Amino acid sequence: MRETRSAEPESSQIKTIWTPAFAGVTILGLFTGLSLGNRFRNDMTISEAEFFRQVTLHTCCSLETEKALFHSFDYLRRYIPADQMTLNYFDEETGETVMCASATAEGGVACDIRIKLTTRERQVFLNQELTTDLMLLNEAAGFSIANKYLEAFGKPESSIMFLRLRIEGVLQGSLILRADGTNRFTQSDLSLFVLLRDPWTIVMINNRQYQELLRLKELLADDNRYLHKELQRMAGSEVIGADKGLRDVMTLVRQVAPLNSPVLIQGETGVGKEVIAASVHEISNRREGPFIKVNCGAIPDTLIDSELFGHEKGAFTGAISRMRGRFERADHGTIFLDEIGELPLQAQSRLLRVLQDRTFERVGGSESVQVDIRIITATHRDLEKMVEEGRFREDLYYRLNVFPIMIPPLRHRKSDIADLATYFIRKKSMELGRYAVPALLPGAERNLMGYNWPGNVRELENTIERALIINRGVFLELPDLRISETVSIPPEPETEAVESLKLNELVYHHIVKVMHITGGRVDGPGGAADVLGLKPGTLRHRMRLLGIPFGRKAEWRKKQI
């Protein structure tokens, strides 16, 4: 067995180390606390302090690891003959040493070159007693780990300097400096190379933590997308009746979804306006973006601006930090403003600007925030009447009403009731922990169909849930429902006899009768279009063809035209 022999006087603390793991290999170990003063290389003289300062500056010149490695290497090679420098770390999960960045005279590149180590090689690689933190290998022929690195480099005939990077004794990674050919490095080169330890330990830690943050961010985003879809499914975003009572509505949804046009969804309370809005978003090109829901009627007037547009720190009492508003959170997605008729006039003005140029300012701020969003609104109110009364901005109404969708009440699409009841029985059974889904009691479906459901789909859902709580048997017995006829049109007082049987004249007199009953109101719940089961636009078109006046130019009375 070869003995350890001194390479220089003991005062220099430089030793040539021999162990069975490195048989036949000459390794120079440099230990902590080494100070060799000024070094001379290639007719250039530089102090260690100045070299350390310059290397640190070059290392910190970029946030991208591969660029920082190149700048550091480009400065270092002025004093040390080198052809390549790499940054590496040890992957404990796979037992591999990983080259994550490499720099040559041409530049720096990020990489992911993995070198598999045997169990013995891992022991040697990680054990400080067998492998010192700083090594010089002018010939790597007998060192298997070094050979694997050189094979990865594609440069088997090379000299290597190896520097481990530790913080608080914990191994973070390593730097390898390589030069073509053997016997290229000296002890003077080693004394300069060790000065890279501190700045590159910090870079290595930051790089590993940054990569871990990116990995966790991607995992979080993936989980968020999955949970978002699950919540939508559990919240009832499925459109029941899409091929029956809501067939015409879904045709409109498919027409407008690929576009960015604003959509105004109208209908009575509880008809499922939020479900239709979610369908527009899911079919659109923005489906991977956020779908932010806002109930304008549930936010106090004093907080509506802050909730929608956000606020700056100190904008008002309690504003202890900057807060992003709902519009900012909906960037690259869709914002759904439910109960838009409840929006205060001041907030309506700011919403108008967002519709016009997609910019706004946070409360208490002066910086414009640019957003890329699609706006969907919904209301059960008669916005036209609110415009006439001055409670809703006319210009905002026309901008929101680009593509109106009217959802018929449940009493006008009774073909959907059985499907909705089945869906809610399944959904509510799961929520209540009933794994055995009950079936409707024979005859219960007839009761469901005979009821007018003034509360629409929401009332049906609550009725099913109440029945599931009360009844725990195999069959679900519904509570007594008040059976009623579909709302009929009461006779108009003093109606003249219709002598002609021509279709247009019959339609004319029928529409006139309904306009008397509704007081001339076309839109909204209880309006002429609602009573006739038509879309407001369709009714207006027919009235124009028949010469029936409507709107502000017509005054309808109960007894005469």
* Average pLDDT, integer, range 412-427: 90
Residue 156 has a CB neighbour count (10 Å cut-off) of: 10
| Per-residue pLDDT band at 35 (split at 50, 70, 90) | very low
Element of type H or E holding 147: helix 144-153
pLDDT for 513 beyond 80: yes
CATH 1.10.8.60 domain locations along the chain: 411-476
Please give the CATH topology (third level) of the domain spanning 411-476.
Helicase, Ruva Protein; domain 3 (1.10.8)
The token pair that represents 167 in the structure block: 């913080």
Look over the chain and give the mean of its residue pLDDT values, rounded to a whole number: 80
Q: What is the DSSP string of 97-132?
A: EEEEEEEETTEEEEEEEEEE--HHHHHHHH-TTTS-
pLDDT at 397 over 90: yes
Residues 202-218 pLDDT 10s = 888 887 788 788 888 88
Q: What is the pLDDT of residue 337?
A: 95
H/E stretch holding 180? strand 170-180
What is the spatial distance between Cα 455 and Cα 462, in angstroms, rounded to a whole number?
10
Does residue 340 carry a pLDDT above 90?
A: yes
Q: Is the pLDDT of residue 522 over 80?
A: yes
DSSP letter for each residue of 317-379: TT--S-B--HHHHTTTEEEEEETGGGS-HHHHHHHHHHHHHSEEE-BT--SEEE--EEEEEEE
How many other C-beta atoms are found inside a 10 Å radius of the C-beta of residue 243?
12
Q: CA gyration radius for the chain?
A: 39
Q: Which amino acid is at 186?
A: T
Within the chain, all domains assigned CATH 1.10.10 are found at 489-561
pLDDT value of residue 484: 45
Answer whether 327's CB lies under 8 Å from 366's CB: no
Mean pLDDT of 486-501: 41
Q: Of all residues in the chain, what percent carry a pLDDT higher than 90? A: 25
Using alpha carbons, list the distances in angstroms from residue 481 to 14, 90, 428. Answer: 96, 71, 20
The answer to whether residue 520 scores a pLDDT higher than 70 is yes
* pLDDT tens digits for range 280-325: 998 999 988 889 999 998 888 888 888 899 888 877 777 777 888 8
pLDDT for position 23: 34
Band (233; pLDDT cuts 50, 70, 90):
low
Where is average pLDDT lowest: 81-95, 432-446, 497-511?
497-511
List every span in the chain annotated with CATH 3.40.50.300: 235-406
Least confident of 44-48, 113-117, 262-266, 425-429: 44-48
pLDDT at 295: 92
Q: What is the distance of C-alpha 338 from the center of its chain?
A: 22
**Cβ contacts of 69 within 8 Å, gap of 6 or more:** 85, 86, 87, 101, 102, 103, 108
What 8-state DSSP symbol labels residue 20? G
**pLDDT tens string 369-394:** 899 999 999 999 999 999 999 999 99
Q: Among 124, 118, 196, 205, which Cα is nearest to 170's?
A: 205
Over range 486-505, report the average pLDDT.
46
Q: In this predicted structure, what is the pLDDT of residue 141?
A: 59
* Pairing of the two strands 333-338 and 291-295: parallel
Rounded percentage of the chain residues whose pLDDT exceeds 70: 83
Which CATH fold topology does 5-209 show? Beta-Lactamase (3.30.450)
Q: Which residues neighbour 553 within 8 Å (Cβ) at sequence distance 6 or greater?
A: none
- Residue 525 to residues 20, 271, 522, Cα–Cα distance (Å): 92, 12, 9
Whether 513 and 483 have beta carbons less than 8 Å apart is answered as: no
Eight-state DSSP code of residue 442? T
| Cβ within 8 Å of residue 397, ≥6 positions away | 383, 384, 387
Pure H helices in 401-455: 417-431, 444-450
Q: What is the biggest distance separating any 2 CA atoms in the chain, rounded to whole angstroms?
A: 129
Q: Is the pLDDT of residue 29 over 90?
A: no
d(CA 521, CA 384): 10
Assigned CATH topology for domain 235-406: Rossmann fold (3.40.50)
| CATH 3.30.450.40-classified regions of the chain | 5-209
Residue 224: Cβ within 10 Å count: 11
Query: Helix (H, G, I), strand (E, B), or coil: what is residue 149?
Result: helix
Indicate whether 3 pLDDT > 60.
no
Position 491 pLDDT exceeds 70: no
Residue predicted with more confidence, 417 or 321: 417
pLDDT greater than 70 at residue 506: yes
On whether the 489-561 domain is CATH 3.30.479, my answer is: no
Least confident of 6-15, 331-340, 357-366, 519-528: 6-15
- DSSP annotation of 340 reads G
State whether residue 311 is helix, strand or coil: strand
Q: Check whether 38 has a pLDDT greater than 90.
A: no
Looking at the DSSP assignment, which residues form a beta bridge with residue 61? none
**The total number of residues written for the chain in this structure:** 561
Please give the DSSP secondary-structure letter assigned to residue 323.
B
